[in-house]
Structure 1
Amino acid sequence: MKKLTLITTLMFCVAITQAQTETLKEKLARKLKEAKDQKIEKTIDKALGKSEEKLDKSVNGVIEGKEKKNKADKENTEETSNTSNQSGTSNANTSPSAKISATSKFDFISGEKVLYYDDFSRVAVGDFPADINTNASGEVVTLEGKEGKWLNMTKNGAFIPDNIKNLPENFTLEFEVGIDKDPSNNYSGLGLNFNINNDQLFKDMFFAKGTSIVYLHPGAAQATISIIPTQGTDISNEIPMPQWDVNNKTFAKVSIWRQKGRLRVYVDQDKLIDIPRFFTENQVYGFAFFRNFFRECNVFIGNIKYAIAPADTRSKLITEGKFVTRGILFDVNSDQIKPESNGVLKEIAAVLQENPTVKVKIIGHTDSDGNAALNLDLSKQRSAAVKNALSTVFGVDASRLETDGKGAAEPSEPNTTPQGKANNRRVEFIKL
C-alpha cells in the first residue's frame, strides 16, 4: 500500500513537473515570440520613421519649391514691369515719376541748340578720341551696369575737347562722371578750367591771371572755386558736395550754366554753386577738363552735351508762338521723364499759368535710331507724359494741352552726327 502511495505521489510530482516544464517552455516561446515581434515592430517603426522623414522632406520640398516659384514669379513680374517702362510700352497716362516735383529747387534749363554732343559711340573701345587733346592718357571703355561708352581718364593731366572752345556768354555744359577707387582727399580733384589763355588750359596748378576754375573732389566730398582775375583780388571758396562722395556715390550728373558773368553748377538735382561774377574777364574763354588725384584711380566721363543757353521761355512761347526744348529728357526707349527736366517743366508751367487763355500743342520728336514705327509711338507717348506732368504735378488744366508725336519724320538737322541726333531729340510747344 505504501509502495502504491509512493508511486502515485511520484507520478503526481512528475506530472506537476511536466506541467511546470511545459509552462516554462510556453513562456519561453512566448517571450521569444514577443522579442521577435518587438524587433519586427522596431524595424517597422524605423522604416516608417524614415518614410515619414522622406515624406516630410518631400512635402517641405514641394512647399519650398512653391514659395521659390512664387518669389521668382513676383520678381519676374517686377522685372517685366521695369522692362516695359524701359521699352517705351508703359502707359503714359499713369502718374509721372515722383522725382518730378513742383516744389523742386532744381532750376537748370538745358541749352536749346546743341553745339557738341559726345557719348563716344563713334570711338572703338581701347582708343582715345581724336578730337580731344591731352597731355595725359586715357581710353574709351564700357562699364558694367552703365549704358554706352565712357572716356576713362587714367592719368593726371588736361583733357581739352576741340569742340568746346570760344565759349559764348550764355551756354550750358552737361556730363556724367564717375570714379572707381578712393583717391584720398589730397590734391585738387576733377577740374573744370575756364581760361582766357589757351596755354593755361594744359595746367592743373599754378594758374596765371584770367583763370576761373571749379574743382570737384569725390574723395573729400567737396567742391572748390578759384577765381584769379586780371584785376582785383583772388577769390576761393569751399562747398560741401555729398552728391558725389566716393564712400557713398561713385557716379554723378554735373550740369553747368553760364549767363554772362554768372555761373551755376548743379550736381545731380542740387544746385551746388551760384556765383554772379565767376567770369571776370571781358574776353573769350576756352575750356578744359583736368584730373589731379593723389592715389591711383580711374575717372570716367560720358554723355557730354554743350549747348547754347536757352532764350527766355516766356517771350518765345507767347510772342513767337513756339518754343522748342531739348531739356526735357527721358529714360532710354521710355516715356519716363528724367528728374533733370524739372527746371524746363516748371518754367513752361509758369508761362501757362500766367497766361490762362493760352492753349498749346505738345509735339514729341526722336532721332532716327531704331524702328520708325516704334519711334513714332514713343514720341506720342512722350508728349502725353509731358502733358500728364504739367497737369498732375504743376497744376496746368489738361484741357489746354494737346499732344502729338512725329517720331523721326521731321528732323531739325541731319541724323549723321551725335550732336545732330541730340538736336533732333526734342519737344515742341506750339501756341494754338
Structure 2
Amino acid sequence: MKAIAALLLLLATGPLFAQTIDPKEAARDKVTDRTNNAIDRGIDRALDRAEQGLKKLFGKKDKNKEAAQKPAEPAPAVAAGVAGAAAAPAVAAGTAGALKAYSKFDFVAGEQVVAFEDFLQDAVGDFPARWNTNAGGEVVRIDGQPAPWLKLPGRGLVYPEFVQALPENFTMEFDMMISDDLSNNMSGLRVHFPLMAQRTLQFDANFGSEPQVGFDLHPVPVGEGSTSHTWVFGAGQQKLLENTVPLAWKQGVPNRVSIWRQKTRVRLYVNEAKVWDLPRAFEPNLRYSMLLSADLFGGAVFFSNLRIAVGAPDTRNKLISEGRFVTRGILFDVNADRIKPESYGVLKEIAAVLKDNAGVQVQIVGHTDSDGEDARNLELSKRRAEAVKAALAGEFGIAAERLSTDGKGESQPAEPNTTPQGKANNRRVEFIRR
C-alpha cells in the first residue's frame, strides 16, 4: 500500500521538490538547516493522505478510525487549523495547580495599564481599526477562546497606532497561538522594538540594521524544535547581540508572552519560563516603540490580549503606610474567578508583605468593568475576591482569618469604561488595611 501511495505521490507532487530546493529560497535565514525536516514531514503527511485515499478506493474502511481522525467542522468565522482549548468554567477550579507551575515566575506587571487590545471592537474578517500594516491580516475567532485574535499576515508587519514611544520602564504582555501546520522554516512571530522615528511601513523587518531590540518566537506544533531568536542593533547600526535558545511551547492553548523592560535591561518570558534576560539591550536616551512582523513559510500565527503597563508596584509602602494597595496584575479568566497563573508574581509580593507584617489584616475587594449585567458583575467581583483570598491562604500560607473579602462590581470605576484601556484599568483588585 505504501509503495502505491508513494508512486501516486511522485506523479502528483513533483513541483513540491522543485520548490523546496529553489536556491533563492535556500538563501533565506534558517531555511537551509530546516528544509529537510519540513520535506520529511510533508512527505509523511502526503503519504498518509494518499494511503487513506487508496483504502477508500479499494473499499477497506475502518469507520471507527475515520471517526477518530475526522476534524470537527469549524464554526463560521473561526480560524481553522488551531486546536482550541475548552471554554473556561466559571469557577476557580485548577487555580492551585496552575499557580504552583509558576512558582519561579518573577515577572510583575506594571501598576497602570497604558495600552490594551483584545479586538472586541473589530469585526471578524476585518483588519483592526486601531492598527496599521503593510501586508494585511484579519481578526478571527478561534474555537474555544473567548476573545478575538489577530491573524498576522504571512509576510509583513503590523503595529498598534495607539502605542507610540515607550518609556524606559514598562511591561508588555500578550497571548500567542499558532496553527497546527506552522512550518519550522523562516520566522515565527517577531517582536521588534525599533526607534519611534523608524517605526514606519517601510521598516525592514527581515534584514534591517536600524537600532532595535528584537525577538523571534518560533514554536513548532509537535515535538521538540521550538526556538527563540534575539538580536540587538546599536545606535551606530552595529550588531551588539544575536543568539538562539530552545523554547518550551504548549500547543492548542494560548501561550502568555511577558516582556519586562527596566532601563537597559529586558526580560522575556513564555508562560512560566524565563527565555531571555539581557542586561544591556536597550540604549539610554533612545525613544523606542514596538511592532510585530512575520515571514512564514507556512501556517499561521495569532496574537491577542496585548497589555502594556507602567509604574513598578510599591506594594509594601502603599499597603502598610498608606493603607491601600490596588493592582491590575491579578488576572482572571473571562467571566470567571479562576486566577490566571501569570498573576503569581503579584500574589507572591503581596504575600511577602503580609508575612513580614503578621499583625496586619486586610480586606480584599474585587472590581469589574461595565460589560455584562450589573448583578452578575457584582457577584463575579465577590467571587474573584474570594479566589484571591483562597490563593493567599492555600498557596502562600497567609492565615485566612486575616483576610476578609468584598466586591463592588462595576460601581466604582477608576476610569471611564469607554476604551479597552479604561476597562482594563477597572478590572482590578484592591487591598485595604483594616
TM-score scaled to structure 2, two decimals?
0.74
Structure 2 letter corresponding to 1:297:
G
Comparing 403-412 with 256-265, which one deviates more in the overlay?
Answer: 256-265
Report the CA distance shift for 1:133/1:430 in structure 2 as closer, same or farther (over 3 A). same
Code of the aligned partner of 2:144: G
Any residues of structure 2 matched to 1:16-415 within 5 Å, and which?
Answer: 86-87=89-90, 90=91, 96-101=95-100, 104-196=103-195, 198-199=197-198, 202-219=203-220, 220-230=225-235, 234-243=240-249, 248=251, 251-293=254-296, 295-415=297-417
Deviations 1:311-346, CA, capped at 9 Å, x for gaps: 332222223222111111112222221111111111
How far apart, in 2, do the equivalents of 1:114 and 1:155 lie? 30
**Corresponding residue for 1:50?**
none
Deviation at 1:184, TM superposition (A): 3.1
Cα offset for 1:167? 0.3
Distance of aligned partners of 1:141 and 1:181 in 2 relative to their CA distance in 1, 3 Å threshold? same
**Alpha-carbon distance in 2 for matches of 1:223, 1:120:** 26
Q: What is the distance in 2 between the residues matched to 1:327 and 1:173?
A: 12
Distance (Å, rounded) in 1 between the aligned partners of 2:336 and 2:179:
29
Cα distance in structure 1, aligned partners of 2:256 and 2:313: 23
**CA distance in structure 2 between the aligned counterparts of 1:139 and 1:96, rounded to whole angstroms:** 33
Counterpart amino acid of residue 204 in structure 1 = A
Mapped partners of 2:307, 2:432: distance in 1: 25
Q: Distance in 2 between matches of 1:154 and 1:337?
A: 32
Q: Given residue 375 of structure 2, which amino acid in structure 1 is its aligned partner?
A: A
Distance 1:172 1:103, change over 3 A: closer
Matched letter for residue 404 of structure 2: E
The aligned amino acid for 1:134 is T
Aligned residues of 1:243 and 1:249 also touching (Cα < 8 A)? no
Three-state SS of the structure 2 residue aligned to 1:389 is helix
Whose helix proportion is higher, 1 or 2?
A: 1
Please give the alpha-carbon distance, in whole angstroms, between the structure 1 residues aligned to 2:379 and 2:106.
Answer: 30
Query: In 2, distance between residues paired with 1:140 and 1:405?
Result: 34
Quick one: which amino acid aligns to residue 116 of structure 1?
Answer: A
Cα distance, 1:354–1:164 mapped onto 2, change above 3 Å: same
Aligned residue in 1 for 2:433: 431
Range that drifts further, 94-103 or 337-346: 94-103
TM value normalised by structure 1: 0.74
Q: Could you tell me how far apart the structure 1 residues matched to 2:173 and 2:188 are? A: 18
What SS does structure 1 have at the residue aligned with 2:307? strand
Taking a change above 3 Å as real, the CA distance of residues 353 and 95 of structure 1, as seen in their structure-2 partners, is farther
1:276-334 deviation line (CA, Å, top 9, x unaligned): 222124211111111122x2322211111111143332222223222111111112222
| Structure 2 residues without counterparts, runs of 5 or longer | 1-85
**C-alpha displacement of 1:233:** 5.9
Which among 413, 418, 421 is matched to residue 419 of structure 1?
A: 421
Aligned residues: 342
Q: Give 3-state SS (helix, strand or coil) of 2:424's partner.
A: helix
Q: Which runs of 5+ in 1 are unaligned?
A: 1-81
Q: Does the Cα contact within 8 Å between 2:386 and 2:405 map onto a contact in 1?
A: yes
Question: Structure 2 CA distance, aligned partners of 1:319 and 1:286?
Answer: 36
- CA change 1:106–1:399 in 2 (3 A) is same
Deviation at 1:102, TM superposition (A): 9.1
Secondary structure at the aligned position of 1:282 is classed as coil
State the partner residue of 1:68: none
**Letter paired with 2:217:** L
Report the CA distance between 1:250 and its aligned residue.
6.7
Percent of aligned positions that are identical? 48
2: CA distance, partners of 1:358 / 1:139: 50
Instruction: Show the counterpart of 1:25.
Output: none
Larger Rg: 1
Tell whether the 8 Å contact from 2:96 to 2:395 is kept in structure 1 after alignment.
Answer: no
Structure 1 CA distance for aligned equivalents of residues 392 and 229 of structure 2: 36
Structure 2 CA distance for aligned equivalents of residues 113 and 377 of structure 1: 25
Moved more, 196-205 or 140-149: 196-205
Q: CA deviation at 1:223?
A: 0.6
| Residues 200 and 208 in structure 1, CA contact (< 8 A), matched pair in contact too | no
Q: 2:138 touches 2:151 (CA, 8 Å); kept in 1?
A: yes
Please report how far the alpha carbon of residue 111 of structure 1 lies from its aligned counterpart in structure 2 after TM superposition: 2.2
CA displacement 1:393-428 (0-9 Å, x = unmatched): 101122221211101110001111111111111000
Distance in 1, matches of 2:135 and 2:310, equals: 29
For 1:138 and 1:174, locate their aligned partners in 2 and report how far apart those are by CA, in whole Å. 20
Task: Give distance in 2, aligned partners of 1:199 and 1:430.
Answer: 45
1:382 alignment partner AA? R
* Whole-Å separation in 2 of the counterparts to 1:249 and 1:142: 14
Rounded to whole Å, the distance in 1 between the matches of 2:110 and 2:324 is: 16
- In 2, Cα distance between the equivalents of 1:136 and 1:151? 13
Query: Residue 329 of structure 1 aligns to which amino acid in structure 2?
Result: L
Letter in 1 for 2:386: A
In the alignment, the residues of structure 1 paired with residue 123 and residue 115 of structure 2 have an alpha-carbon distance, to the nearest angstrom, of 19
CA displacement at 1:209 relative to structure 2 = 4.2
Q: Which moved more, 1:156-165 or 1:231-240?
A: 231-240
Deviates more, 1:309-318 or 1:337-346: 309-318
- Matched AA of 2:255: A
